[in-house]
Amino acid sequence: MLDQDNSWEAVQKRDKSRDGSFFYGVVTTGVYCRPSCPSRRPLRKNVRFYASAGDAERDGLRPCLRCRPLVAPGPDPTAELIREVCRYIEKRSDEPLKLEDLATQAGMSPSHFQRTFKGIVGLSPKQYVDAARLRKLKKGLKQSGDVTQAVYEAGYGSSSRVYERTDTQLGMTPNQYRRGGRNVTITYATIETPLGLIMIGATDRGLCFLQFGDTRTGLLRMLEKEYPAAILLAMSKPYHPDFQKWAQALNDHLAGTHPHLDLPLDIRATAFQIRVWNYLQSIPYGEVQSYAEVAAGVGNPNAARAVARACAANRVALVIPCHRVIRGTGELGGYRWGLARKRALIDQERSHRLAIN
């Protein structure tokens, strides 16, 4: 028989030395984990302990995707192998990189490599290559006075290819990006929410600005500071049907009746920011994780501070839920729209999730 108190203490401490000696299941999420699982600690009343993975599965639980309890304890050689491929991509982003070549680098079949890479990194190999190449292009555009030169040095075969590939990622053409967003048109409007005013700014491809504020004037100044060279147009009434849907989705989300907020985005980001922001969108409604847990989740356990910077760089509140990331001590940490709003968002999500369950 397992010692319940000792097992719970190991879970609280995330004791790696106990990995393999038992598993714990969380009845509210339907998963079972190893003691060192980096996921947010569950409530004791929702935890069950098992001597084997088979016992947990016979109880109707499935293995956790974070800690992968069926994998032997210790360093994960597959994760390290994928990290090596990421480093390989970063160094050679200006070269043609095919899936087959990257799979060979990892010693896997293309299909297995594709699944494994996305499962660990959070992006497909193609998305990661594109993001690394885009980051190099952005750097080149800022340093070079010649757009064509920056395009070719970043690894794009032609100027037409770079416009096709980067239009939705940059949110603007390379020339516009180099000039600070000049000639990009952003329409905006402000709506009332239970947590104060929110200004929505959008290009013709999606949301590029979604921020809380205390006054319309203050929010407009924030938008102008974010896109100093863009053409800003107040949205005329009656609002476009798409905007009405977005506004309704936001209010429903804050009211707890629309937990999953999926709106089109048109934002600029580095490869690392994309990984972090994609991961944040996978954190379940009503749950929080520490900066260190997010860093481990994106495959870079030592990057907690970089994760914090990626959260601070978020310009699209709620859709990219950076409010679900707190310090490992349990303190809220930072939030660009105020700690009171962060606490309110976390408390509201938790209460609505309990009501749903």
349: exposed, middle or buried (C-beta count within 10 Å: 0-12, 13-18, 19+)? buried
Residue 208 annotated among the catalytic residues of the structure: no
Helix residue spans in 3-60 (DSSP H): 4-13, 53-58
Distance CA 140, CA 152 (A): 10
Q: What are phi and psi of 47, to 5 degrees?
A: -105, 140
| CA–centroid distance for 8 within its chain | 30
Strand ordering across the sheet containing 31-33 = 47-50, 23-26, 31-33, 62-63
33, 37, 67, 208: the active-site residue: 33
* Three-point CA angle 26, 29, 34, nearest 5°: 45
86, 208, 311, 322: the active-site residue: 322
Distance CA 335, CA 323 (A): 7
**Type of residue numbered 35:** P
The partner residues of 290 in beta bridges, in order of sequence, read: 326
Distance CA 75, CA 138 (A): 35
Residue 322 annotated among the catalytic residues of the structure: yes
| Residues 199 and 214: beta-carbon distance below 8 Å | no
Q: Which residues are catalytic?
A: 33, 322
